Amino acid sequence: MKRRIPLALTFVFLAVLALALPVGHVFSQSSEHNFVDSAFGVRINYPKGWQKQNGTSATEVAWFISPNGAVSSVLFASPLEGESFEEYARLLGESLKAFLADDVEIVRDEALDITSGQQAWITVMSGTRSSDNSSLKLSLITAVRGLRTFTLMTFGAPKSYDLYEDEIMAMGISLQIDAPNIQGVPSDQALVLAGGESTNPRSYDPATTHTAGNKLVFSGLVSLDPQLNLVPELAETWEVSSDGTVYTFHLRQNAKFHDGRPVTAQDVVYSWERAADPKVGSDTVLTYLGDIVGVREMVEGQADHISGLKIIDDQTLQVTIDAAKPYFLLKLTYPTGFVLDRANVESGEEWFRKPNGTGPYKLVEWKRFESIVYEANPDFYLGEPQIPAVVVQLYSGVGIRLYEAGDIDIAGVPAYTLDRFLDPAEPMHDELVSGVDLCTSYVVFDVTQPPFDDVKVRQAFSMAFDRQKYIDVVLHGVGLPAKGIYPPALPGFSLDLEGLPFDPEQARQLLADSKYGGPDGLPPLVYTNGGLGSYVDPSTAALIAMWEQYLGVTITVENIEPNIYIEELYAGHHGQMFSTGWCADYPDPENFADVLFHTGSEQNNGGYSNPELDAILEQARVEQDVAKRIALYQQAEQIIVQDAPVLFTVHGLSYVLVKPYVKGYVLTPIDIPLERYMWLENK
């Protein structure tokens, strides 16, 4: 598919033909003959006595002016945009010819050998400017590296051009394109991503984060690979006792922290006991480490150490859990199980800005609200990563726009623009990667607060929600209706699940049959959401509009600042309803049903409790037969759906754009340390 020359270059051509130098700038004489712009990744030698001036737009790199001012050169940059190099260079020449009169003479149009050995093309032409009928001679010398091109465009009256022709050619032949620097890192050695920055320090601490954690810097005993198989990390091997309750882990001899200190069993014990320390206030330690004997006692302040941990020697740790649980190792892939360096953690409140981790990358620079730079760890116990650096540009713009401009290498595709990239005629269509998330979005009904202490009210609100309309209108058709808690592709997902249907008439009847007698008997309703000020996002607005339309209720929205939203929910600071969701930490239904709905679970933020459900979940924890386990979790899901402690809304779908030179990328439904499996090819 052919492409037009970028519009920005057309404007440069117009400026050239007007013989316009950058307006309002003073040129400075310089004895320096070598011009280098590391941000663009270009260098060129310009003749002695010529003046240089930095470019004045995103396209212009620099101007060079002859001593008498009669000849000007402008160096500009552009993406190759999928054309063959020769075709692209010819298109540049054709675009330029369009602004000249019909008497254009092509003096030269051929490949050119330049000093750097890179591909180059030269086009020289003369003609009459259409604007004032004056004679003009000009040249384009274009060099390419990968998908980036730089063109030196030189112009002047024919006699003036010929006077400086040798210097013009020498300047063009010296053109060299290197990898541009991004935050001091050559771009061809860096995976460049976009991101944000939390102002909540707890989000960076593996013991307290509610995110997937920083798997570039930190690691644990085990991990998941791109196919979601459990694989050894800091622990090279392990044995399990015959009764399934004692795990003996053997640490790798070459496992080191980033400062070179060997990782020992004591480091594992320190990290896990720190997570269980009540002063740390972890909301995740019981969920992910609570199967270990003694963790609960330490969390509740009844012990100073975790009794189920025993150091055999520096490389050997024995872990005793309270019952044989098939999923125990999977839980250790979550950040709560990551291994930390005590001296690093105790170095100051913001220790996480200079972390001494064990992971595949070292955090070498963090410019607040600007960028974070990671460098490959040459001593990583599984081998040095193939990508030398990862650069995260913070708050640098809209991801999809940055991707199109070539500023980042991977970008998520918003639902509102997905149709464009699904179109086979779209040039970036082949760069689109899609997959089903192991995620479920839902609204929690706090059953400890009226009116959601009544199951009929909860069922009424669930049945007054039109999932398909919500997906079609709010999510632009991107998503799958969620009848229950398990997302598709998770073991335990069942097409036979009997969900609560969208039925406004029955919803109104349920509300009337509740102990509140209908909408007029309800207390004031508050819906809590993560947001700023009084703004109500479209998703929340759609939910509330349906409830108001179908149930005749009135709901007030309460926004909580996003950086502290999750913490406030865990602290119980919310209304009777709030929006949230859950993505799998490991591919097991226990991670959904048990973690979210068992009585007293850390993640059970709505206070839901059902003894019948608890008994089924507790039985499933220790069931060794896979088929029987799955059947128990499906039975548990049906109970949850009928009790309606939450309103299930949607299972997510992911769409991501990935540059062709990024190899080894896999769209995994669970966050894994993917960067160490990837490499860059001809970036």
Alpha-carbon span 325 to 402, nearest angstrom: 45
- Looking at the structure, do residues 613 and 676 belong to the same domain, yes or no? no
In which residue are the tokens 């102002």 written? 199
Task: Tell the burial category of 295 from Cβ atoms under 10 Å away from its Cβ (0-12, 13-18, 19+).
Answer: buried
- Residue 503 structure tokens: 């039925």
* Confidence category of residue 83, pLDDT binned at 50, 70, 90: low
Mean pLDDT, range 230-259, rounded to an integer: 98
Query: What is the per-residue pLDDT for 3?
Result: 39
- Looking at the structure, do residues 236 and 98 belong to the same domain, yes or no? no
Alpha-carbon span 148 to 179, nearest angstrom: 10
Q: Is 273 helix (H, G, I), strand (E, B) or coil?
A: helix
The chain-wide mean pLDDT, for the chain, equals: 91
- Looking at the structure, do residues 456 and 390 belong to the same domain, yes or no? no
CATH of the domain at 589: 3.10.105.10
End position of a domain, from candidates 178, 204, 234: 178
Query: What is the per-residue pLDDT for 10?
Result: 46
pLDDT of residue 15 exceeding 80, the answer is no
End position of a domain, from candidates 125, 153, 178: 178
Which has the higher per-residue pLDDT, 81 or 41? 41
Query: What is the per-residue pLDDT for 24?
Result: 34
Best CA proximity match to 420, nearest among 431, 428, 412:
428
In a domain, 184, yes or no: no
- Looking at the structure, do residues 98 and 220 belong to the same domain, yes or no? no
Alpha-carbon span 88 to 450, nearest angstrom: 68
Establish whether the linkage from the previous residue to 451 is cis, with ω within 30° of 0.
yes
Residues 188, 111 contacting (CB under 8 angstroms): no
Helix (DSSP H) and strand (DSSP E) numbers for the chain:
19, 32
* Confidence category of residue 13, pLDDT binned at 50, 70, 90: low
In a domain, 420, yes or no: no
Alpha-carbon span 678 to 410, nearest angstrom: 12
Which tens digit of pLDDT belongs to each residue from 389-400? Answer: 999 999 888 899
* Paired strand residues for 588: none
- Looking at the structure, do residues 233 and 350 belong to the same domain, yes or no? yes
Q: What is the DSSP string of 321-344?
A: BSS--TTHHHHTTSGGG----HHH
In a domain, 417, yes or no: no
- Looking at the structure, do residues 102 and 11 belong to the same domain, yes or no? yes
Residues 363, 654 contacting (CB under 8 angstroms): no
Residues 673, 191 contacting (CB under 8 angstroms): no
CATH of the domain at 165: 3.40.1000.10
- Looking at the structure, do residues 152 and 223 belong to the same domain, yes or no? no
Q: Is 183 helix (H, G, I), strand (E, B) or coil?
A: coil
In a domain, 277, yes or no: yes
In a domain, 598, yes or no: yes
- Looking at the structure, do residues 497 and 603 belong to the same domain, yes or no? yes
- Residue 437 structure tokens: 């998330």
End position of a domain, from candidates 178, 202, 219: 178
Residues 514, 566 contacting (CB under 8 angstroms): no
The residue count of the chain comes to 683
pTM score, whole prediction: 0.81
DSSP state of 215: T
Alpha-carbon span 523 to 518, nearest angstrom: 11
- Looking at the structure, do residues 140 and 101 belong to the same domain, yes or no? yes
- Residue 566 structure tokens: 């999750």
In a domain, 44, yes or no: yes
Alpha-carbon span 373 to 367, nearest angstrom: 9
Which tens digit of pLDDT belongs to each residue from 631-649? Answer: 999 999 999 999 999 999 9
Alpha-carbon span 432 to 30, nearest angstrom: 48
Query: What is the per-residue pLDDT for 115?
Result: 86
- Residue 63 structure tokens: 């101007």
Q: Is 652 helix (H, G, I), strand (E, B) or coil?
A: strand
Which tens digit of pLDDT belongs to each residue from 470-528? Answer: 999 999 999 999 999 999 999 999 999 999 999 999 999 999 999 999 999 999 999 99
In a domain, 189, yes or no: no
CATH of the domain at 252: 3.40.190.10
Best CA proximity match to 292, nearest among 303, 271, 307, 313:
307
pLDDT of residue 6 exceeding 80, the answer is no
In a domain, 276, yes or no: yes
- Looking at the structure, do residues 555 and 615 belong to the same domain, yes or no? yes
Residues 208, 666 contacting (CB under 8 angstroms): no
Torsion of CA 320, 324, 330, 335, to 10 degrees: -40
Task: List the domain range (segments joined by +) for residue 74.
Answer: 7-178
Alpha-carbon span 141 to 137, nearest angstrom: 14
- Looking at the structure, do residues 204 and 251 belong to the same domain, yes or no? yes
Query: What is the per-residue pLDDT for 8?
Result: 42
Residues 468, 410 contacting (CB under 8 angstroms): no
Considering its fold, how many domains does the chain have in total? 3
Per-residue b/e over 623-661, b at no fewer than 16 CB within 10 Å?
beeeeebbbbbbbbbbebbebbbbbbbbbbbbbbbbbee
Alpha-carbon span 46 to 62, nearest angstrom: 11
- Looking at the structure, do residues 582 and 673 belong to the same domain, yes or no? no
* Paired strand residues for 29: 51
